Structure 1
């Protein structure tokens, strides 16, 4: 694997690493919020390992949501293609890799976007996300999810305003306000995220800092199983109690209007095969619709 290319995420470690980052970790002085547990999540719209942990994050929100405050920060995975070298020098070199990590994470990713309509940077969608946050934190997370579905499944170049606009409309953001913020103050917030990432020693994604009110802190780096997130939370907040949630298809789709097979299976606590069987049945019954990609479907509520 060519370590000069940040889009070649290491499937074994589950990390999309920034080539220029220093390999050091600084214990943060950032404090927790009024909620018991504060999570700082450093990510990027085109980070395949971050797409891989969507099931874990969605389950965390269902089981620990009343205790959690999750703050999304952008990390600047791909500034441009100037610094890449060796065998990885152009977007098309990433296509096959994305297809491989799709199988590794069991999450649908179609690498053909790098052949059909390649992105020259991850900065524009990152800045758009900061613009969305300026308007509404909750809608911004929906906006980011839609952008990811666009790039990973629909093969859309999300650096283009037309796709950002569509994502904004689908997430119920005011498009005019978003565009104004995108073209003005959002870049400053994006740069502030990059500075915070550097200060905290972030060198790749996903980087998840879990903190309590007393300054206790755990760090989860790369693609990790759900149990590791639970253990990290329990370590700094031993008395935390997780909520139970309704493990039915209609409840899950009311919370998350789109789900991959792995997301559905993990949230329902089923095997992939059992989850897929239930989803196929719901599709036949016309309760959900199936959006097919070459590396797996996305299921959407009707």
Structure 2
């Protein structure tokens, strides 16, 4: 079985599969006013789902130092003419075992059976949907991105279908009428294609890709699941000095109040605890009727009891 730490999603093949260790690659861009983190991702990138614990912790510890900008990279244009013989991928059903492998070994459960039961034709529709939701505010868009990822990775929902996307908008308390207008807008579609092109020009060839850009325009690019220490190293090299993380002022219950629905792995990683310790605390909260445990294919997820 492949080492789950070394997964990335390839922009050329559309497949999330084992890769080499992430390295820091120097890159030169325009000078931002503040350290900028450009995050190239895709709604159906399994490696991007797997790093949700690290990304949450990074935002909490270093959010005062960086502005994070989410970009859609276009992982899977479609299946016509597609073949990746090296990874044994020639049709949607071949993706299922790759997703299950990531879900089983990272603590962020994934049910690859969606590729057997209701396979996705492309990642472009949910990517455009994210761009449409940005019209309703960045926070709403990020809630939406998380929700459609829960739908596809945990609930086996085909997030290329407009009714499924509309349900996600509703779940995030978004404006469905505005969403439909923006989702079908040529301007929104063009903004997505412009992001893809810009990513390729910056050398983005897989997901996740993080591009840290300092105030002098020089920064570092990291591709794949390179590990939390590399995110910290990239930030330190970008700003030119040791950056001290902010303390995280949450316990398990407070984290769930903030984020709504989390895996055990996410809570444990953010709080710098082992999973056994975290499970013990969460089980006590469940016994008190404060949280609900939800069994997913390869892990438990948790939510606040209303």
Q: Does the alignment pair 1:62 with 2:60? A: yes
Q: Does the alignment pair 1:244 with 2:222? A: no
Map residues 45-194 of structure 1 onto 2, 5 A cutoff. Answer: 45-85=43-83, 86=85, 87-184=88-185, 185-194=187-196
Q: Hey, what's the Cα distance between the residues in 2 that align with 1:121 and 1:20?
A: 12
Q: Indicate if the aligned counterparts of 1:28 and 1:200 stay in contact, CA closer than 8 A.
A: no
Unaligned segments of structure 2, at least 5 residues: 15-24
Q: Label 1:83 to 1:279 Cα distance change in 2 as closer, same or farther (>3 A).
A: farther
Residue 44 of structure 1 deviates from its aligned partner by 0.3
Residue 20 of structure 1 deviates from its aligned partner by 6.7
Q: Does the alignment pair 1:31 with 2:36? A: no
Residue 31 of structure 1 deviates from its aligned partner by 2.8
Give 1:211's match in structure 2, choosing from 200, 210, 213: 213
Q: Indicate if the aligned counterparts of 1:53 and 1:224 stay in contact, CA closer than 8 A.
A: no
Q: Indicate if the aligned counterparts of 2:100 and 2:110 stay in contact, CA closer than 8 A.
A: yes
- What is the TM-score with the length of structure 2 in the denominator? 0.89
Give 2:197's match in structure 1, choosing from 174, 188, 195: 195
Q: What is the Cα-based RMSD across aligned positions, in Å? A: 2.0
Residue 155 of structure 1 deviates from its aligned partner by 0.7
Q: In structure 2, what is the equivalent of residue 4 of structure 1?
A: none
Residue 265 of structure 1 deviates from its aligned partner by 0.4
Q: Indicate if the aligned counterparts of 2:119 and 2:158 stay in contact, CA closer than 8 A.
A: yes
Q: Indicate if the aligned counterparts of 2:46 and 2:99 stay in contact, CA closer than 8 A.
A: yes
Q: Hey, what's the Cα distance between the residues in 1 that align with 2:155 and 2:140?
A: 21
Unaligned segments of structure 1, at least 5 residues: 2-8
Q: In structure 2, what is the equivalent of residue 266 of structure 1?
A: 269
Q: Indicate if the aligned counterparts of 1:26 and 1:199 stay in contact, CA closer than 8 A.
A: no
- What is the TM-score with the length of structure 1 in the denominator? 0.90
